[in-house]
Homo-oligomer: A and B are copies of this chain.
Amino acid sequence: MNYKKIDKKDIEVINEIIIDKDRIFIGENINEDYSHDELGNVKELPDIVIQPLNTYEISKIMKYANENFIPVTPRGSGTGLVGAAVPIKGGILLDLSKMNKILELDEENLTLTVEPGVLLMEITKYVEERELFYPPDPGEKTATIGGNINTNAGGMRAVKYGVTRDYVRGLEVVLANGEVLQLGGKVVKNSSGYSLKDMIIGSEGTLAIITKATLKLLPLPKKAISLLVPFEELEDAIDTVPFIIKSKSIPTAIEFMQKQAILDSEEFLGKKFPDNSSEAYLLLTFDGNSKEEVEKAYEKVAEICLKYGALDVYISDTEERQESIWTARGSFLEAIKASTTEMDEVDVVVPRNKVAEFVKFTHTMEKKHDIRIKSFGHAGDGNLHIYILKDNLEEDQWNSKLHKVMEDMYSKAKELKGQVSGEHGIGYAKKGYLKQSLSNDAMALMEGIKKVFDTNNILNPGKVCQ
């Protein structure tokens, strides 16, 4: 595909659509941040950055770009880890961060309608102040809701509450040709043709641009407590999880962490974690509407943990203590990043009873490839976050080792009937691994769907299945 390079005439047209000049950036005025996401391994600057304010502007821009074969890449906060928001073909970068209004809280339908640039942390704050609850809880709170929907982000609470997809009732989107579609709405059920809404959720900005989302809310659970459970070894900790699930007690979240991650986080935050004397920990939360309900659930689980080798069970029922634990958990990625020169990540998801086996496997990888590997993640839902660290390796050596480690990890995930990505998506960086993990027929269907939505292939090209 030969895309049109943006020229003077294009800029004139864009200037007519976007009236405020301070929402257009060209050439040297483009901030370097726009060339990469949080991981930074995929790099490319766009020709022009536009910060639209509304659906109308996006529709006009898309229509023009589509007619003129100009690539368009949408971007939220840029907190992604697979290069999905990097404009690898140049062209227009649509920075949606200025479309950041909470549009409507509908308490009779328990829905919240927002623009795509609203941050996850803003949604949380807004609804919780009103005793309402938006359950999806990815670690990165400064991500936009548009980004969360585009990756179908999962987060910590997927164990009990499911993932982002389960909370998107309706979407307004702009198609590649500029047409605006309303999908779903405030309705609880829908069996009216193929679910285009579900096709767009998790499509990483390659099928349409989300301009509005109607989210399902729940009443805010009145009580929440956390358990921090130390174990002598990580395997013991993770092996306990299937027994917890089997016990028919569903915690809100079950995270696992190792001592080193805690130490890194203590150094990074300059704050002490409640305990760092053990090798491994499970971190669990429980929520409910009364003290008794929550107690009944966690007491049973605490017993199971002790039965299967936990050294102790620390209960955090004050807000401060919970805050300190979860702040540490929230800093793991940053702390690991700060501990090395460069890194890449694996975000596989495996069945819950295979997590222990996969984590053990990553430890053998450290030895086999002589490279530092850190992991933490969602023991309760099988989604692992594994970081391969460059440290002082030479560029060549790093690339070669990284490639081998990745190949090994993804083929192990496949063997365990896992999937390439649990919540970070495929973007640019994981395309090869997606292709390896899926059948040719599945890939062909995805490519076909991409063509149906975006005939001229201008919308975030070169991503996911391309």
The quantity of this chain's copies bound in the complex is 2
* Binary B-proximity of A169-206 (CB < 8 A = 1, otherwise 0): 00000010101011111111111111110110111000
**With A181-B442, A193-B465, A465-B194 as given contacts, are A349 and B187 in contact (CB-CB < 8 Å)?**
yes
A114: interface (CB < 8 Å) = no
- Tell me which residues across on chain B come within 8 A of A187, comparing CB atoms: 349-351, 382, 417-419, 422
Q: How far is the CB of A416 from chain B (nearest CB, A)?
A: 10
Chain B positions within 8 Å of A293 at CB level? 288-290, 293
Contacts of A452 in B (CB 8 A): 445, 448-449, 451-452
Interface size in chain A (residues, C-beta < 8 A): 96
Cross-chain contact A188 with B382 (CB below 8 angstroms): yes
CA distance A184 to B446 in the complex (A): 14
Q: Is A245 an interface residue (CB 8 A)?
A: yes
Assuming the contacts A185-B417, A189-B383, asked whether A108 and B246 have C-beta atoms less than 8 A apart, the reply is yes
A110 within 8 A of B: yes
Contacts of A456 in B (CB 8 A): none
Q: Are A192 and B292 in contact (CB under 8 A)?
A: no
Residue A296 interfacial (CB < 8 Å): yes
Kindly provide the distance from the CB of A370 to the nearest chain B CB, expressed in whole angstroms: 29
Q: Whole-angstrom distance between the alpha carbons of A378 and B191 in the complex?
A: 15
| Complex alpha-carbon distance, A402 and B395, angstroms | 73
Whether A186 contacts B417 by the Cβ 8 Å rule is: yes
- How many Å lie between the Cα of A410 and that of B377 in the bound state? 47
**Residues on the B chain within 8 Å of A289, using CB:** 293, 296-297
**With A188-B159, A188-B352, A191-B425 in contact, do A198 and B245 touch (Cβ < 8 Å)?**
no
The 4 closest A-B pairs by CB, nearest first: A448-B452, A219-B248, A198-B198, A188-B381
30 pairs, A vs B, C-beta closer than 8 Å: A108-B245, A108-B351, A108-B353, A151-B191, A154-B189, A163-B189, A186-B352, A186-B417, A187-B349, A187-B350, A187-B419, A188-B381, A188-B422, A189-B422, A191-B202, A191-B347, A191-B422, A191-B423, A191-B425, A192-B419, A192-B421, A192-B437, A193-B465, A194-B199, A194-B445, A195-B202, A198-B198, A449-B449, A449-B452, A451-B452
List residues of chain A with CB under 8 Å of any chain B CB: 106-110, 131-132, 151-154, 158-159, 162-163, 165-166, 175, 177, 179, 181-196, 198-199, 201-203, 207, 218-220, 242, 245-246, 248-250, 288-290, 292-293, 296-297, 347, 349-353, 378, 380-383, 417-426, 434, 437-439, 441-443, 445-446, 448-453, 464-465
